[in-house]
A and B are shown apart, each in its own frame.
Chain A
């Protein structure tokens, strides 16, 4: 069911919600969080809602879409409520803000948040310079950005690093989970050896490749090289050098991963770039600060540096202040 409320107020939206619940009954499922999607009024609105609806099957939520319209227009709030079949397991409020109101999305969001449930903010496109200090970001326990969706991904990632605050996360990191899991599992077998050097290859402007290099650097404290491959291909390989030979995980065609280890047969497994909805569902699964992401993000600057800072094998995290 879709109900349009043109030129309205937040209390009218709240009224309409209660009204729909009484009439429909179907909206009474327990929701576990608020998801605030901040975007411009464009095609991105529907794409984001679709991903959120899919993710809501795992995490029933109230989705608040803040679509910022023309600032030059007069002040106006257009709302649309979607429940039932049109909203997955969530209820979706699309809020279009025009005129001066477009800069005061937080005031519109506050009265519409479900009480007590955590708030997650998601910027599917351009993100604020400091997400944690953005008016919407301040309302949220968790802030999801996507460096890969920025016009300059490398710069966006650098900006995330500088502005990091607990609760920040980025979909460029989420897309890495399968790679990280495979590498971790590959080391978890005999011969149990220390890694001596790492090379990560991926498109020059691919933030996930940067983060993978940063993660390996922050965990292993060994020299990590980042090599550029042609643009558009994402991550193409990660090679961990060990005394007995390298552990190589590479993805020649962008779909199937190949794992090569000395003395073992080559193994292949599906390793596709995960869908937006899968990434979002993974992000919504945890709401606490992701320390591992923080460390990986901070270590991106140490990639390609020759020195192995910190004694090899130490895990005290003393690399923090390294130039």
Chain B
């Protein structure tokens, strides 16, 4: 991540120095324009993150936040919405003086997306802000709206000239997943966006990549001598990447029906986690080097065949989720009763490189599973020779290194240890490093980090279009295969998925780790 900043004419800011590590990078003067302000994500994540950044002193003085929606609102109404969202969801304490400064820059433009007049209002509002607040012509357009509405909004941005960057100014666009629903639609979506914004101005938010633990995968792998020598097929037996949710579809059923677990999670989060786990060491931590390594590894990923045996999918049925009785997915309001959309998906991948030849990567995700957990488990081979009696090591499993992404971020190492007593008996124990409980207080939330990086124009943590398309390329055959089959297999809520998922991994002589 280059910190050398040169302005035109070779001018160098003498007050900045790479060695001055305590100096935070404050974003330059700018504004953020949010489309879809009333959405869940915008209220629960985006607005609180903006406040938290302001509270940490990382937003520029004179920052502006503009909301655009089909509401008959004045600036104050929108400010109230932001205020409530901040009060309820911000991570840092509410400070009146911070809010007072932030609220000075809050504006609202009423109108629908196909309303030319509303966008003309927006345009003049933005140039007013440049004068009043000194946002300097730097603006980010945050599309917190369904992708079907992208074309009309982007067309408006193009028509009004809002997407054009002049000289030193920048204009950026932020989009959230889903980035399409298959390779073809992803390409279409990208064509629409890239018609208006150049690729370097497009920031795709995958909030997983903003998480400290995900970035810590790189530190763990490449800053240490300990792991890299064993990070290959000589020592690794297989890798399991799990993202389990305990919640159902309440409220999102309409959106989720027709999308399903594989598109919702595997295509983006899990394949990105896989890429970070499996990629080669980048030449440097510059955005270009990181991307080229991720693209290399994504290009090397192949589906294990035959898909009948190497994939599994399911739908949760009514059951007990912890201490609560919950309904099955087909009874969720908004979900079609004959829907074949899966709420659990598991796939088997192989990575065709010298490092990973023969090491299967098992990916699974689902709703209403045993508990909420995301982790990467690297399971090692058994020692080739055990100088013990067989009875001594009966309880010894395979060594494992587990990177826990959430909750309770951390790293676990599992290894054998002698059981106290006169007999020699070896049993598995765990060594648990908890990154989360210890450091959460001040480590920025994923959204904060991503938002700040976007305002600073720092692209490392955002997937580029090539990564999105490669990921769809991997997943598409599975989706096509499933579309030809009968519906998904049912599994009771609160369990770890359908029997076919266990069968899929058991066929290779392995078993899922209970996360």
Contact = CB atoms under 8 A, between A and B. Distances in A.
Nearest to B19: A291
Interface of A: 29-30, 32, 57-60, 89, 174, 177-178, 180-185, 187-190, 192-195, 216, 219-221, 255-257, 259, 261, 264-265, 267-270, 272, 281-282, 285-286, 290-292, 313, 315
Contacts of B19: 291-292
Nearest to A178: B57
B114 interface: no
Contacts of A187: 13-15
B26 A185 contact: yes
Contacts of A281: 442
Contacts of A282: 22
Nearest to A282: B22
A286 B22 contact: yes
Contact of A192 (B11, B26, B131, B439): B11
A229 to B, nearest CB: 22
Interface stretch (B97-105, B274-282, B485-493): B97-105
Interface string B432-458: 011001110111000000000000000
A292 B104 CA distance: 35
A30 B433 contact: yes
Nearest to B441: A57
The 10 closest A-B pairs by CB, nearest first: A267-B61, A192-B11, A267-B62, A57-B441, A184-B15, A192-B7, A269-B61, A185-B26, A292-B20, A264-B134
Interface of B: 5, 7-9, 11, 13-17, 19-24, 26, 28-29, 57, 60-62, 95, 97-98, 101, 104, 131-134, 136, 168, 433-434, 437-439, 441-443
B453 to A, nearest CB: 16
Contacts of A183: 15
A145 to B, nearest CB: 16
A182 B11 CA distance: 19
Contacts of A261: 134
Contacts, number: 109
Contact of B26 (A182, A285, A291): A182
A187 B26 CA distance: 12
Contacts of B29: 189
Contact of A272 (B97, B132, B136, B433): B97
Contacts of B442: 57-58, 281
Nearest to B439: A58
Contacts of A256: 97, 101
B168 A190 contact: yes
Given A89-B438, A265-B62, 15 more contacts: A89-B437, A180-B15, A185-B28, A188-B13, A190-B7, A192-B11, A216-B15, A220-B15, A221-B14, A265-B131, A265-B133, A270-B57, A270-B95, A270-B97, A315-B14
A189 B15 contact: no
B15 A219 contact: yes
Given A183-B15, A265-B132, A269-B101, A60 B26 contact: no
Given A184-B23, A268-B61, A286-B21, A219 B95 contact: no
17 contacts: A30-B438, A57-B441, A177-B24, A181-B23, A181-B26, A184-B16, A189-B29, A190-B7, A192-B8, A192-B9, A265-B62, A265-B131, A267-B134, A268-B61, A268-B104, A270-B101, A286-B22
